[in-house]
Amino acid sequence: KQRNDHEPEFMQAVEELAENVIPFIVENERYYGKNLLLRMVEPERVLIFRITWVDDNGEIQVNRGYRIQMNSAIGPYKGGLRFHPSVNLSILKFLAFEQVFKNSLTSLPMGGGKGGSDFNPKGKSEGEIMRFCQAFMSEMYRHIGPSTDVPAGDIGVGAREIGYMLGMYKKLKNEFTGVLTGKGLSYGGSLIRPEATGYGAVYFAQKMLETKKDTIFGKNVVISGSGNVAQFAVEKALHLGAKVLTLSDSSGYVYDADGIDEEKLAFVMKLKNEKRGRISEYIETYPKATFVKGKTPWGIKCDIALPCATQNELNGDDANILLGNGCICVAEGANMPSTLKAVEAFQKAKILYAPGKASNAGGVAVSGLEMTQNSLRYQWTREEVDNKLKNIMSDIHKSCLKYGTCDDGYVDYVKGANIAGFVKVADAMLAQGVV
């Protein structure tokens, strides 16, 4: 605690896990007295580096780059890169820590890592984005590799940025390997990877509802964010017959009482992915919808909430409003979007609530499948990857039931995910000795 107290997001993630894992360790002699948690909270390696690049005005810009290599007990470090001005050590350590247990839950052989930069992609030209990505990789290339550390995308890093970084890696190393995931289809990417996190979160919500003999069909769904995860959460929710009422970005949210249908979603995808516009522009094309500036969408009445934007975007008050409005299910697409108070409120009310490390694991799972395809030099079809994704989400759900079902039948998905994720990493660490 002393060592990390100045890192609030990291402490939040550790506290959430420790609350479940410490009692489990105490009850299980195999794990007791080995200082496993103490070892897990300390990253194996933290890299911090200078990134210099030249902007369109010819001025030299300086950013800070990071890669947290958190835990490699069960496989090479694996986790995304985030480019956002809020990026700091605490945020990346929380993300890397969560990633360790999430990757373990997927049952694929991937350790945990995370990285990124405080670079702000908003308003940058194509050329500036490319030069920044190249500068980032010109340092990071020496620390990663297909059997060492395999980064991917996250906030501010999509297929475009992955392409530029892979290009630079290839040039510097003179080899073509699957060192990054989320690649374009023509150069080693996997079908369904862009869709995987959003689809996976909806598949997981569907599994949770099944435990109540219910489905997502006909439900009102509120979604935050309008990036990669949010877009494909909308798409899958629509496939399964739900009505999606909201989307958001950091400037506010849009509420469309008629529902965001496939045509409107196509508009949002173009707006966000090609024009790099703001969600407020939605109402210029669909004037029956409303835009609420500077607010999150949790006040809109719904059955299901899927937070898909960023950490701590849903607080205790928001949780109480959702509950008051009759929300029965919350599945996190983002990482740690609910504050500890919000989680407490959901659990007290005993609604279906899944933490990101379980419900958003679909993205990294398909990244794992991308690594497999790269190693095999082969490409699975859309259906093959989608089926594997569905099975992995279903298996994660089973693991949550195994460790999280309480005496009264309530499923504590936080506990289930934390313990199931912990056990595999702990077993591997014990087998490998003190290293």
| Site size toward ligand NDP, by CB under 6 A | 23
DSSP helix/strand/coil, 220: strand
The closest alpha carbon to 360, from 151, 195, 201, 196, belongs to 201
Cα–Cα dist 261/307, whole Å:
19
How many other β-carbons are positioned within 10 Å of the β-carbon of residue 35? 9
Task: Give least dist CB 241 to ligand NDP, A.
Answer: 23
Closer residue to ligand NDP (CB): 134 or 310: 310
Among 154, 161, 195, 303, binds ligand NDP (CB under 6 A): 154
Closer residue to ligand NDP (CB): 361 or 429: 361
Cα–Cα dist 249/427, whole Å:
40
Q: What is the dihedral of CA 380, 384, 387, 393, to 10 degrees?
A: -10
The closest alpha carbon to 274, from 158, 190, 177, 186, belongs to 158
In the bound state, the residue with its beta carbon closest to ligand NDP is 227
Q: Is 156 in the site for ligand NDP (CB under 6 A)?
A: yes
CA-based Rg of the chain, rounded to a whole angstrom? 21
Q: Is 225 in the site for ligand NDP (CB under 6 A)?
A: yes
Residue 102 in marked binding region: yes
Cα–Cα dist 12/16, whole Å:
6
- The DSSP bridge pattern shows strands 220-223 and 352-354 to be unpaired
The closest alpha carbon to 21, from 362, 398, 314, 404, belongs to 404
* Residue of 93, 114, 264, 357 marked active site: 114
Residue 78 in marked binding region: yes
Among 20, 220, 226, 418, binds ligand NDP (CB under 6 A): 226
- Dig out the tokens for 291 from the structure: 């835009």
Q: Is 153 in the site for ligand NDP (CB under 6 A)?
A: yes
Q: Is 138 in the site for ligand NDP (CB under 6 A)?
A: no
From residue 232 to residue 261, what is the string marking binding to ligand NDP with x (rule CB under 6 A)? -----------------xxx----------
- Dig out the tokens for 276 from the structure: 């790099």
Q: Is 155 in the site for ligand NDP (CB under 6 A)?
A: yes
Residues in region 197-216 near ligand NDP by CB under 6 A: 197
Window contacting ligand NDP (CB under 6 A); options: 10-18, 52-60, 280-288, 329-337: 329-337
Alpha-carbon distances, residue 278 vs 153, 260, 344 (angstroms): 21, 16, 33
Task: Give least dist CB 120 to ligand NDP, A.
Answer: 9
Among 310, 339, 373, 374, binds ligand NDP (CB under 6 A): 310
| Residue 143 burial by Cβ neighbours in a 10 Å radius (0-12, 13-18, 19+) | middle
Residue 285 in marked binding region: no
Quick check: is 219 catalytic? no
Q: Is 352 in the site for ligand NDP (CB under 6 A)?
A: no
Q: Is 99 in the site for ligand NDP (CB under 6 A)?
A: no
Cα–Cα dist 366/385, whole Å:
7
Q: Is 112 in the site for ligand NDP (CB under 6 A)?
A: no
Q: Is 107 in the site for ligand NDP (CB under 6 A)?
A: no
Among 105, 229, 330, 389, binds ligand NDP (CB under 6 A): 229
Residue 301 in marked binding region: no
Q: Is 69 in the site for ligand NDP (CB under 6 A)?
A: no
- Is residue 201 within 8 Å of 306, Cβ to Cβ? yes
Q: Is 334 in the site for ligand NDP (CB under 6 A)?
A: yes
Q: Count CA atoms closer than 13 A to 116's CA, side-chain side.
A: 30
- Dig out the tokens for 10 from the structure: 């990291």
Task: Give least dist CB 365 to ligand NDP, A.
Answer: 10
- Is residue 319 within 8 Å of 337, Cβ to Cβ? no
Query: Who contacts 103 (Cβ-Cβ below 8 Å, separation ≥6)?
Result: 74, 75, 78, 79, 110, 111, 112, 361, 364, 368
Closer residue to ligand NDP (CB): 7 or 249: 249
| Residue 284 burial by Cβ neighbours in a 10 Å radius (0-12, 13-18, 19+) | exposed
Q: Is 117 in the site for ligand NDP (CB under 6 A)?
A: no
Place of tokens 């970005």: 249
Q: Is 309 in the site for ligand NDP (CB under 6 A)?
A: yes
Binding site feature residues for substrate: 78, 99, 102, 153, 367
Chain residues binding ligand NDP by CB under 6 A are 153-156, 197, 225-230, 249-251, 308-310, 313, 333-335, 360, 363
Binding site feature residues: 78, 99, 102, 153, 197, 228, 367
Residues annotated catalytic, as ranges: 114
